[in-house]
């Protein structure tokens, strides 16, 4: 194994030396060995230097998943620059904001999005050149092949920003989360210490690269020296193609797993090829998790919890805990902190440590922690303490063995009649009902109690939901003040691209014209 890495490219250079002819990455109908991929990245870095990209600069990449996005991340970071990867689903003015906020000088645009970006060109204040990636009018490959490989050695430290991912946020404009080489390497090392991956493994990278579950997961696989198979989207043909190519480890969001379970025996059998399924970014209902465990008895399941600000994952629920019949309650937890990750549970009112077993805001301290938000000193000061803790904004608790249970977002906590109510507890109860496919619980205004609990239900196909009966059902398992007072039945819950339910959208209409805005 190599000495400790300083920058993320160090590991690619290592694998190019010791395993030059092994396949490193696959995407669509193309694959590169470690030596070939190393050479491509050096040429891209060389091309960036010719236009003056260097320490402290930013480039940006707007596209669905494309291998070139990761190549640009490594190439830019080799120069002390950073790649900003916006969500390609952003509307025009949102995209303009993010690209300008990142101060990107070179913009790489997937061919599918060129028609969207072209009308915005005059608004992109810092962009000096646009390079089209893929499609009939691809410019990227020709541009890359024309470049001389990068050979110089600029001063790049472990604390140089390598990647900028934009947090979706709940209010205001997105914030650019700066992730350094140190952050990204620490994340890879911590995950691989408890969930090792080997050269013979093949990582399925299907999550969007604008998300930590995409790029940071991919960087972890590259750190381990595994073969990585990238899909452009998380659709059935791409996933089954990856499995046929030998992918045996994947990070997936629960809605994808639910879709496979609902797709029938052939799909379930195909996914049996996965030795390990890591899931997160959204809770998996316990009935769905039990179905998955039964469907794939030989597969390791790992639940993870993390944040973009932490370069990905900070807790993991081990495969053993998933199949431990003597402690089934732990299946509702996010597991225990990774090696090198410290946790405090803090009373959000007093900022003192909560009593053991009590809920509070989760504070994290680790080398994975972002140095701050790009150009947002005030937001950085709100999120980071002077002694190195990140205030997550998540409410949780830990049991006596250190298993962490995520209760809610701090701002999503429902306060009814002076009592704190955490929506996951109610959601878990409702998810156990056979007529319920999905559920989201929110607080809505109440003139007497301040707030009251509302559940929004997506029924199982063909099932009929009787709201009053469901409310009575919850009272068998919850204190009355925690139970929903109203239930709405809908066909679909709004989600962001990573699968998280957008509770702010569900709440918005109820809190209009109210002095307290919970959105």
User: What fold, for 253-410?
Assistant: Rossmann fold (3.40.50)
Per-residue model confidence as pLDDT tens digits over 263-278 = 999 999 999 999 999 9
Q: Which CATH class is domain 9-178?
A: alpha beta
Rounded average pLDDT over 408-412: 71
Rounded average pLDDT over 432-444: 92
Q: How far apart are the first and last CA of the chain?
A: 49
Q: Which CATH class is domain 413-511?
A: alpha beta
Helix (H), strand (E), coil (C) string for 328-397: HHHHHCCCEECCCCEEEEECCCCCCECCCCCCEEEEEECCCCCCEECCCHHHHHHHECCCCCEEEEEEEE
Radius of gyration for the alpha carbons in the chain, expressed in angstroms and rounded: 23
Q: Do domains 253-410 and 413-511 have the same CATH topology?
A: no
- 517 pLDDT exceeds 70? no
For residue 12, the tally of other CB atoms under 10 A from its CB is 22
Per-residue model confidence as pLDDT tens digits over 26-55 = 999 999 999 999 999 999 999 999 999 999
Domain layout of the chain by residue ranges: 9-178, 253-410, 413-511
pTM of the complete model = 0.85
| Cα 424 to Cα 207: distance, rounded to the nearest angstrom | 24
For residue 265, the tally of other CB atoms under 10 A from its CB is 8
Q: Are 374 and 381 in contact (CB under 8 A)?
A: no
| Cα 48 to Cα 133: distance, rounded to the nearest angstrom | 15
Give residue 128's pLDDT band: very low, low, confident or very high (50, 70, 90).
Answer: very high
Per-residue model confidence as pLDDT tens digits over 237-257 = 999 999 999 999 999 988 889
- pLDDT value of position 3: 52
Helix (H), strand (E), coil (C) string for 141-190: HHHHHCCCCCCCCCCCCCCCEEEEEEECCCCCCCEEEEEEHHHHHHHHHH
181-211 burial code (b ≥16 CB/10 A, e <16): bbbbbbbbbbbbeebebeeebbbbbbbbbbb
| Cα 453 to Cα 118: distance, rounded to the nearest angstrom | 46
Contacts 24+ apart (CB under 8 A), 266-274: 267/236, 267/240, 268/295, 268/296, 270/240, 270/243, 271/243, 271/295, 271/296, 272/296, 272/298, 272/299, 273/243, 273/247, 273/248, 274/204, 274/243, 274/247, 274/248, 274/249, 274/250, 274/299
- 168 pLDDT exceeds 90? no
- pLDDT value of position 4: 74
């Amino acid at each position: 194994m190599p000495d400790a890495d300083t920058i993320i490219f160090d590991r690619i250079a290592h694998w190019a030396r010791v395993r030059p002819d092994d396949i490193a990455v696959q995407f669509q109908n193309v694959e590169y060995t470690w030596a070939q991929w190393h050479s491509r990245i050096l040429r891209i870095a060389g091309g960036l230097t010719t236009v003056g990209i260097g320490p402290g600069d930013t480039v940006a990449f707007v596209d669905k998943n494309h291998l070139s996005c990761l190549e640009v991340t490594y190439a830019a970071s080799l120069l002390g620059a950073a790649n900003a990867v916006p969500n390609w689903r952003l509307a025009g003015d949102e995209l303009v904001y993010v690209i300008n906020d990142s101060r990107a000088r070179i913009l790489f645009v997937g061919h599918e999005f060129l028609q969207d970006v072209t009308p915005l060109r005059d608004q992109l204040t810092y962009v000096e050149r646009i390079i089209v990636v893929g499609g009939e009018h691809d410019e990227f490959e020709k541009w890359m092949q024309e470049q001389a490989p990068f050979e110089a050695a600029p001063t790049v430290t472990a604390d140089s920003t390598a990647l900028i991912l934009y947090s979706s946020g709940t209010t205001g404009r997105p914030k650019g989360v700066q992730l350094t080489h140190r952050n990204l390497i620490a994340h890879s090392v911590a995950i691989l210490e408890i969930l090792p991956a080997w050269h013979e493994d093949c990582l399925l990278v299907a999550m969007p690269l604008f998300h930590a579950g995409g790029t940071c997961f991919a960087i972890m696989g590259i750190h381990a020296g595994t073969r990585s198979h990238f899909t452009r989207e998380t659709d059935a043909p791409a996933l089954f193609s990856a499995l046929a190519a030998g992918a045996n480890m994947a990070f997936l969001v629960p809605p994808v797993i639910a879709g496979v379970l609902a797709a029938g025996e052939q799909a379930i059998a195909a996914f049996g090829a996965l030795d390990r399924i890591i899931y997160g970014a959204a809770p998996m209902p316990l009935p769905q998790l039990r179905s998955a465990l039964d469907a794939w008895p030989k597969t390791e399941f790992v639940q993870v919890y993390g944040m973009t600000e932490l370069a990905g994952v900070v807790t993991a629920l081990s495969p053993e805990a998933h199949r431990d019949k003597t402690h089934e309650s732990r299946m509702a937890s996010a597991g225990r902190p990774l090696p090198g990750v410290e946790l405090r549970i803090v009373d959000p009112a007093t900022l003192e440590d909560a009593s053991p077993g009590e809920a509070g805001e989760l504070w994290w301290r680790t080398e994975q922690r972002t140095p701050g938000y790009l150009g947002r000193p005030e937001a950085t000061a709100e999120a980071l303490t002077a002694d190195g803790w990140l205030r997550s904004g998540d409410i949780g608790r830990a049991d006596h063995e250190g298993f962490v249970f995520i209760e809610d977002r701090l701002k999503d906590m429902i306060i009814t009649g002076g009592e704190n109510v955490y929506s996951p507890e109610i959601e878990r109860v409702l998810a156990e009902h056979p007529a319920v496919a999905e559920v989201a619980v929110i607080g809505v205004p109440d003139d007497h109690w301040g707030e009251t609990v509302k559940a929004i239900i997506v029924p199982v196909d063909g099932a009929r939901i009787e709201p009053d009966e469901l409310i009575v059902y919850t009272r068998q398992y919850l204190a009355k003040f925690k139970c929903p007072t109203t239930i709405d039945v809908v066909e679909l819950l709004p989600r962001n691209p990573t699968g998280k339910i957008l509770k702010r959208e569900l709440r918005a209409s109820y809190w209009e014209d109210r002095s307290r805005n919970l959105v």
